[in-house]
Structure 1
Amino acid sequence: MSVKNEVIDYSKTLYLPKTDFPMRAGLPQKELELIRRWEEIDLYTQLRQQAKDRPFYILHDGPPYANGNIHIGHALNKVLKDVIVRSFQMRGFNANYVPGWDCHGLPIEWKIEEKYRAQGKSKDDVLLSEFRQECRDFAQSWITVQSEEFKRLGIIGNFKNPYTTMAFHSEARIANELIKFAMSDQLYCGSKPVMWSVVERTALAEAEIEYHDHESDVIWVKFPILETCFHDLYDTYVVIWTTTPWTIPGNRAVSYSSQISYGVYLVESAENDFGPQAGEKLLFADALVENCAAKAKLILKRLRSVCADELKTLILSHPLKGLAGGYNHKIAMLDGSHVTESAGTGFVHTAPSHGREDFEIWNAYKSVLEQAGIDTTIPFPVDDAGFYTKDAPGFGPDRKEGAIRVIDDNGKMGSANKEVINALIKAGLLFARGRLKHSYPHSWRSKKPIIFRNTPQWFIAMDKDLGDGSTLRSRALEAVMTTRFVPPSAQNRLASMITDRPDWVLSRQRAWGVPICIFVNEDGLILKDEQVNKRILQAFEAEGADAWFAEGARERFLNERAHESWVQVYDILDVWFDSGASHSFVLEDRADLKWPADVYFEGSDQHRGWFQSSLLESCGTRACSPYKTVVTHGFTLDENGKKMSKSLGNTIMPQDIIKTSGADIFRLWVMTTDYWEDQRLGKKILQTNVDSYRKLRNAIRWMLGILVYDEGEEIPYCTLPDLEKLILHRLYELDQLINRSYDEFDFKKIMRALLDFSIVELSAFYFDIRKDTLYCDPPSSKKRKASLQVIREIFDRMVTWLAPMLPFTMEEAWLERYPESCSVHLQQFRPILTEWKNELLAERWKKIRQVRKVVTGALEIERVNRRIGSSLEAAPIVFISNPVLLESLNNLDMAEICITSALIIVQDIPPADAFILSDVEGVGVCSNKAVGTKCARSWRYTQDVGSDPNYPDVSARDAAALRELQALGKI
């Protein structure tokens, strides 16, 4: 059929991309549709069924508190975990994810108490069982909310059967783990200074503490020397410095360091209202005396040195001696390694009731002190409400006005500091005073300052011999050394925390949690009776921990031993023990999981929280770690690197991002961060990710559009064009990088590589070059078929590689390409053929692309200056004097590679007016217009347009294509 005189719409004869995959993602709505689809097909169950015979790879979920909507930290954490789970699932593992929730403890109890306070009542006004039920209901309500919020992020897991620490079985297993510690004598009741929240009336663990700036009173106090072997030291004072004046009533010693140089100083003149006077003699560390003298406005003269042997013989008098008839005990001098010259006076006020180091040095010298006739009993100067007790004469209940308070119920400092300072002034022993802004511990829940106070608590011993020569501390440290950490620096961080940590304070004076379900006698010995323990655990399994608080619980559990003088303990377990024991009731008890976990993945604050409590709990009961790998992430800051806070108005909620941009945009941001460090997030940063997403989506959309013409023909690798072989080589390299990076949890490296590959190597290079072939070549073209085959390989691999990271978008793309498929998430990463690896070819193409870069640079200048509109209007002359680059172009159609209608290569030094790039030596390009006629179909300029009389306005190639299409009935 002749079409010589007919007007043909050549656009209808081209293989132009066509797809229903939209350019505009509409993620907020599309994601909801996909979530509904996953629920309809029960994707989670299909994944489990598919993987049932595979080796396990288990990420154990660190449980968030069920007490509010998820925040940006929750979202970041869950997305990172989801990527791990999905990537291992798609690489041949059974990666089952069971989400969990921490349900006991102060955060939830505090919420219920707030509700009561708003109603003008307290928890004491209701039955304990009612209060605990309200806590349980509150936690459950937020589990429901958070589950939906996590699923909206694209998280896949067993949300129908998660684990919670308040489930009856969980509470029974937590109790069982506690009983193991009790039966092995690792659990003991002791009196130690613990971090105490007056506001919340409970002891706090390290993990429940955060530090904030706090302004404190600071005082320098003179301790008179009471006894000495050195005559010239009589009438001399040892001067201490403290930021907690309220602890002075609890003073029992003064510490010094044998590594510090000390001296006796004479006050020559003084300009102060209450401090030292001329003629007094004072003891200071030489390095700190100048600052101390300035504080009290003194001029001092050094009399002599005082050595450690002299200091250890001194007995001091308490600065409050005689107040209300108290403080008559002797004050010893103790050599302590904790004493430094960094601040103060070189002497440290030591109150074993109010500080860990004070307590430790006091106990270390206990036998020495007792031999010297000093009472080593540690007092209890402050009660649980922050009031002074009878152990603080003049400030406690013996005072006519009533006991003085250190901190009140609202977390405000009481009058204790003021009253102690006034008493010291009255005694003439206040050296100086001031104010200091410093970092001070606060409760993470109430945000109020805490105090250290001596109180009876239940502890797990860190240094008790466990019968095999090991201790809990040594076991934990050994386990840390055999655990993989990402980043590696986290290993030393956790090890140092375990090395320095005190015994684990296990008891809390609260109501909502698993009780320390033991009985003790009047001597504090724990009842060790297997039958009693069995009854307790059976009751907890059937009724939950509420059984411990039910009427008649003591008689029920003790049974025939109820007549004996065993006392029921009602303290509540530290919630970190609850979650720390979760490996026992999740990993060990579920058939679809395994113990130990392959990985624990949480924020860096969990080195002192869940990572540590889990390690200690497992090492204490199983002598090894419950995890093989620990991965940590940082915290999310705003765009300016500031901490997000409601007061600053810079808080970003994940729900808002999802509503406006979609979960995949948030997930893309997570994947592009150095998550193990603190990350930044804001509107500008999100927009950058939106732009990257759009480019990635367009590349996928173009592949989908062109693959509608793919007939699945397989062309042998050996016959593929070199350009296709290059792309397959890049797929081989990417496969190596992606699998390695998923193993190393380096998601940024994967996302960066795939974005660069998609935008730079595909859209701007390979796709651009092959568009002419794909759109215009005849149906029988081997090059066209080869390109379609390679694009098919690209699509299948890119979409599966990205599916763990962008599960919504990749599912949408996969179903567009394979509508009969169930889900991309049921796919495995496609294997890569080793024959695709071709280093020599890749090296050659690096050189080709260097030349191409110069050509495209020259063409851009021509476009900017409007000398050409399209690169197809050009036929540049390329001068190459570099023989290596010249050789790389052998047997290559550089016009095709540079997307020009023609290209002339000249082996010569580039002329002076040639376009050059400084980083590509020996290549220059001179502009030149293409000759010939523009093909009406492909728009290339060729000499053979009109060579086929039936198609007078197209090139010979395009005319051949039209003839084939006509023969096939496609036009």
Structure 2
Amino acid sequence: MDWAEDRYSNRSPAEQLNNDKDKHKKVTDKYNKVVRRNCYTHETRMIQPVPETISFPAEEEQVLRIWKQYDCFQECLKQAKNRPRYTFYDGPPFATGLPHYGHILAGTIKDIVTRFAHQSGFNVERRFGWDCHGLPVEYEIDKTLGLKGPEDVAAMGIAEYNRHCRGIVMRYSNEWETAVTRLGRWIDFKNDYKTLYPSFMESVWWVFKQLYDKGLVYRGVKVMPFSTACNTPLSNFESHQNYKDVQDPSVIVTFPLEEDESVSLVAWTTTPWTLPSNLAVCVSPVYQYVKLKDNSTGNIYIMMEARLMALFKSDTEYTILDRFQGSALKGKKYRPLFDYFLKCKEMGAFTVLVDNYVKEEEGTGIVHQAPYFGADADKRIIKYLKDKGRLVHSGTYKHNYPFCWRSDTPLIYKAVPSWFVRVEHMVDKLLENNDKCYWVPEFVREKRFGNWLKDARDWAISRNRYWGTPIPLWVSEDFEEVVCVGSVAELEELSGIKIEDLHRESVDHITIPSRCGKGVLRRVSEVFDCWFESGSMPYAQVHYPFENRREFEDSFPADFIAEGIDQTRGWFYTLLVLSTALFGKPPFRNVIVNGLVLASDGQKMSKRKKNYPDPIKIVDSYGADALRLYLINSPVVRAENLRFKEEGVRDVLKDVFLPWYNAYRFLVQNVQRLHKEEGIQFLFNESTVEDSDNIMDKWILSFTQSLIQFFKAEMEAYRLYTVVPRLVKFVDMLTNWYVRMNRRRLKGESGATDCQRALETLFSVLFCMCRLMAPFTPFITELIYQNLRHLMDLSSVHDKDTRSIHYLMLPQIRWQRFKITIMLEDFIDIKLKWHFKQAVDISLSDGD
């Protein structure tokens, strides 16, 4: 069966891939033995037959074995050692669970760009990073061990608790390495960084001390988003990471004025459980308020005029008695709902406050203020209010509410003491540094990230937890004397104790003598927010400034980073805040931001709902290359969302890989036929090959040069979303146009010389395609190249090492083949068997 018959047979793509598995195995086993033997040697220059059927996942496993056997990635790094440096920062994933599609997508983008940088002549260090501390790990341990709170951890002991945390991190990191390697990503696990390494933690201490010495650290008591499940406050940006639409109880209650108890302030809340601790109500000083009579009850209320619809359906239900600005209510006293805090009245409680945060979008324009209680008291409190005649209205209300980003439980707002880093004063500098970064897509810089920066708040960096980098502050009991430690050596000098590790169990017992006669100083109990650690990774991964000072300073800021759009309120933000505070400049030059991968129904992927296919099963069924190309050739690379569909991955095989593979097979078939029938040994030498006079050869070669030009320009601009569609379209043009229309020439029906020209053209294009597609589909390009290289005069290849497609540099544009005018003029004279489906518009620069 020849190429055309095979490509256009009645068999479905699934049949072509999966039928005759025994036959495929026998053929490919023999083929792979030869390819494996000759991959890195020159034992033979014989091209090997290409099997009719193929299992892409099985071939990928074979390529993986070759890469591992010859340590190809490390060899790649060695070859690039003396090249100009290209700096890449790998955003550390949390070492819990296995990679999901979001991780796979971001990892693929990083792999593509860093492979391209290597192909372009740079030395690209690719170190994998791990976020090992913090709530993600602790929450998993708490669930596993059934721990309910600080008392349980105290009973176990911090050392034992942290031992469990370390264990889960190391287990998951090993599983991640297996999964990431199978996906074809070349990343250095041997030289990784983990936030639990003492060297990393010491650099985090150094970062903090720089901020402390600059006066950017303070202790304060603020109302903070608080996770009851994790028993710790969260930062402002963490609380914005996980909002959900929820249905909550909604009540409107009365607060009679002391000066006239027949007149009541009416306040709205969706948290009735907080009402027993009400200490004040707040109004807007600028909006207009009204005193009105409820025509059905005769009760007199005060509320914001713009919010009358919250209580009444029409203006016939009430009579307005007076109008005034909210500022007129300031200082008025009211009767409390409950008696629990009557003693606070002497300290100014149960008074009307004014603040601009009160808006006209919801509620009654009067907001009740309270500390916190447990949410399980809702029904009893509503019943109590109703019995006391203080309930005006009750129901349910659907609204957007923050949930803990790790435990997925509702947050409460609680006044807690925390350590803060000052951010608000440097908003203008943050915006300035943001403008210096090149964002893809660009709208993320201006809108999503830029708007977030404009409202940046001081950062709560302390967590009341255990598994993390301890905050290096030693304080007196009254907090009047504070010593900030910035290194292990400094702590050893101050305490006289040898330091082996920096986790809590190793440093909490250490004291420092007071210089002010206050006895001894003890470390504060908190640990760092894990986002502070990941934001410190540019410095901590190389143990700066204790080691590698020149290496870091010569390569900072990074040339490239990439993560999901959710990191605009996570890693992107913390990187920028710390870099701006430390050095006054941005931490990276170029960033690609991807969107979210959702289930096929548009919902968030959920293990509980089982609404998405297991990534490992997808790879086992279709191969990693197909998954990579499906993700990259989608709107998700433009920071839009993607509804993941398994058939989309399958279509990549059918529409891209099978035609490409069959074109390669057709080439090999006819090279072997040429040798068998004509005694001609095909050997490609790009520097001596004669240009063909055939118009179709000129057309595809010219189009190939156009592709190279476009590829380099767009990849250098980090626009993967324009590159992949062009590559996919080129595969279609090669297989459905060039190969179809030149079948007879390629099969030798127009003579041996013309056949050689056609085979040289097809080989040249396939060789170019392998190099261009290598960053995107590393497996199939290696597979094809390992056989094609035996048809090459390797002395004509400029690269010193040709043993792997991933050692080769990008193809150079050969302008003498860029004969676009001839191509377009002659193309219209070709007698076409197939109708045009679309036109191709090619633009040239002046002079071409």
Q: With the length of structure 2 as denominator, give the TM-score of the two structures.
A: 0.83
1:113 equivalent in alignment to 2:142? yes
SS of residue paired to 2:450: helix
Match of 1:445 in 2: 406
Superposed, which structure 2 residues align to 1:628-707 within 5 Å?
A: 628-675=589-636, 676-692=639-655, 693-707=657-671
Match of 1:306 in 2: 324
Match of 1:395 in 2: none
1:241 equivalent in alignment to 2:268? yes
Aligned-partner Cα distance in 1 for 2:344–2:517: 44
What is the Cα deviation at residue 609 of structure 1? 0.8
What is the Cα deviation at residue 542 of structure 1? 6.0
**Contact kept in structure 1, 2:278 and 2:336, CA below 8 Å:** no
What is the Cα deviation at residue 86 of structure 1? 0.8
SS of residue paired to 1:627: coil
Aligned-partner Cα distance in 1 for 2:110–2:245: 34
Match of 1:348 in 2: 367
Match of 1:793 in 2: 764
**Contact kept in structure 2, 1:256 and 1:334, CA below 8 Å:** yes
Give a deviation string over 1:802-848, Cα, whole Å, max 9, x none.
Answer: 11111111111111111584211000011111222233123324534
Aligned-partner Cα distance in 2 for 1:600–1:704: 40
Please point out which of 309, 315, 321 is paired with 2:332: 315
1:77 equivalent in alignment to 2:106? yes
Superposed, which structure 2 residues align to 1:511-550 within 5 Å?
A: 511-525=466-480, 527-528=482-483, 534-536=489-491, 543-546=500-503, 549-550=506-507
Aligned-partner Cα distance in 2 for 1:337–1:651: 45
Superposed, which structure 2 residues align to 1:250-269 within 5 Å?
A: 250-269=277-296
Aligned-partner Cα distance in 2 for 1:561–1:25: 78
CA separation of 1:323 and 1:168: change in aligned 2, threshold 3 A: closer
SS of residue paired to 1:255: strand
Match of 2:8 in 1: none
1:775 equivalent in alignment to 2:804? no
Give a deviation string over 1:742-769, Cα, whole Å, max 9, x none.
Answer: 223333433322222222x222222223
What is the Cα deviation at residue 737 of structure 1? 1.6
Match of 1:856 in 2: 834
Please point out which of 225, 228, 231 is paired with 2:257: 225
Match of 1:488 in 2: 442
Give a deviation string over 1:221-266, Cα, whole Å, max 9, x none.
Answer: 2233345xxxxx8842222211122333454543333553332212
**Contact kept in structure 2, 1:211 and 1:442, CA below 8 Å:** yes
Match of 1:195 in 2: 225
Letter of the 2:644 partner, please give it. L
Aligned-partner Cα distance in 2 for 1:523–1:845: 89
What is the Cα deviation at residue 324 of structure 1? 6.2
Aligned-partner Cα distance in 2 for 1:494–1:327: 43
Letter of the 1:438 partner, please give it. H
Aligned-partner Cα distance in 1 for 2:287–2:823: 66
SS of residue paired to 1:524: coil
Aligned-partner Cα distance in 1 for 2:645–2:484: 59
What is the Cα deviation at residue 639 of structure 1? 2.8
**Contact kept in structure 2, 1:113 and 1:123, CA below 8 Å:** no
What is the Cα deviation at residue 574 of structure 1? 0.4
What is the Cα deviation at residue 304 of structure 1? 2.8
Mean Cα deviation higher: 281-290 or 595-604? 281-290
Match of 1:207 in 2: 238
SS of residue paired to 2:303: strand
Mean Cα deviation higher: 163-172 or 487-496? 487-496
What is the Cα deviation at residue 119 of structure 1? 13
Mean Cα deviation higher: 801-810 or 667-676? 667-676
Give a deviation string over 1:902-927, Cα, whole Å, max 9, x none.
Answer: xxxxxxxxxxxxxxx9999xxxxxxx
1:87 equivalent in alignment to 2:121? no
Aligned-partner Cα distance in 1 for 2:302–2:334: 14
SS of residue paired to 1:67: coil
CA separation of 1:474 and 1:521: change in aligned 2, threshold 3 A: farther
Aligned-partner Cα distance in 2 for 1:335–1:119: 39
CA separation of 1:499 and 1:519: change in aligned 2, threshold 3 A: same
Aligned-partner Cα distance in 2 for 1:119–1:68: 22
Aligned-partner Cα distance in 2 for 1:531–1:57: 30
CA separation of 1:548 and 1:856: change in aligned 2, threshold 3 A: closer
**Contact kept in structure 2, 1:18 and 1:706, CA below 8 Å:** no
CA separation of 1:758 and 1:122: change in aligned 2, threshold 3 A: same
What is the Cα deviation at residue 437 of structure 1? 2.7
**Contact kept in structure 2, 1:116 and 1:123, CA below 8 Å:** no
Match of 2:210 in 1: 180
1:710 equivalent in alignment to 2:673? no
CA separation of 1:769 and 1:690: change in aligned 2, threshold 3 A: closer
Mark the structure with the bigger radius of gyration: 1
What is the Cα deviation at residue 677 of structure 1? 1.4
SS of residue paired to 2:63: helix
CA separation of 1:647 and 1:309: change in aligned 2, threshold 3 A: closer
What is the Cα deviation at residue 800 of structure 1? 0.5
Aligned-partner Cα distance in 1 for 2:499–2:112: 37
Across the aligned residues of Structure 1 and Structure 2, the Cα RMSD in angstroms comes to 3.2
Letter of the 1:742 partner, please give it. M
Identity %: 25
What is the Cα deviation at residue 174 of structure 1? 1.2
Aligned-partner Cα distance in 2 for 1:31–1:542: 47
Letter of the 1:281 partner, please give it. I
Match of 2:810 in 1: 829
What is the Cα deviation at residue 579 of structure 1? 0.7
What is the Cα deviation at residue 716 of structure 1? 7.1
Superposed, which structure 2 residues align to 1:150-161 within 5 Å?
A: 150-161=180-191
CA separation of 1:66 and 1:308: change in aligned 2, threshold 3 A: closer
Aligned-partner Cα distance in 2 for 1:473–1:23: 62
What is the Cα deviation at residue 598 of structure 1? 1.3
Please point out which of 766, 770, 776 is paired with 1:805: 776
Letter of the 2:521 partner, please give it. W
CA separation of 1:438 and 1:252: change in aligned 2, threshold 3 A: same
1:285 equivalent in alignment to 2:290? no
Superposed, which structure 2 residues align to 1:17-166 within 5 Å?
A: 19-117=48-146, 122-166=152-196
Mark the runs of 5 or more structure 2 residues left unpaired by the alignment.
1-45, 673-680, 795-801, 840-848
1:818 equivalent in alignment to 2:781? no
1:733 equivalent in alignment to 2:733? no
Match of 1:583 in 2: 538
Aligned-partner Cα distance in 1 for 2:452–2:775: 34
Letter of the 2:738 partner, please give it. Y
Aligned-partner Cα distance in 1 for 2:157–2:634: 49
CA separation of 1:728 and 1:200: change in aligned 2, threshold 3 A: same
Matched residue count:
758
What is the Cα deviation at residue 54 of structure 1? 2.0
Give a deviation string over 1:253-281, Cα, whole Å, max 9, x none.
Answer: 433335533322123322xxxxxxx2x32
**Contact kept in structure 1, 2:93 and 2:129, CA below 8 Å:** yes
Mean Cα deviation higher: 604-613 or 281-290? 281-290
SS of residue paired to 1:545: coil
Aligned-partner Cα distance in 1 for 2:486–2:662: 68
Mean Cα deviation higher: 99-108 or 218-227? 218-227
CA separation of 1:740 and 1:318: change in aligned 2, threshold 3 A: farther
Letter of the 1:554 partner, please give it. T
Letter of the 1:459 partner, please give it. F
Give a deviation string over 1:187-245, Cα, whole Å, max 9, x none.
Answer: 11100111112222111233365223332222212233345xxxxx8842222211122
Give a deviation string over 1:457-503, Cα, whole Å, max 9, x none.
Answer: 1111123xxxxxxx333322221121111111111211222222321
1:721 equivalent in alignment to 2:694? yes
CA separation of 1:126 and 1:89: change in aligned 2, threshold 3 A: same
**Contact kept in structure 1, 2:474 and 2:484, CA below 8 Å:** no
Mark the runs of 5 or more structure 1 residues left unpaired by the alignment.
1-16, 228-232, 271-277, 352-380, 383-387, 389-405, 407-412, 464-470, 858-916, 921-971
Aligned-partner Cα distance in 2 for 1:327–1:583: 50
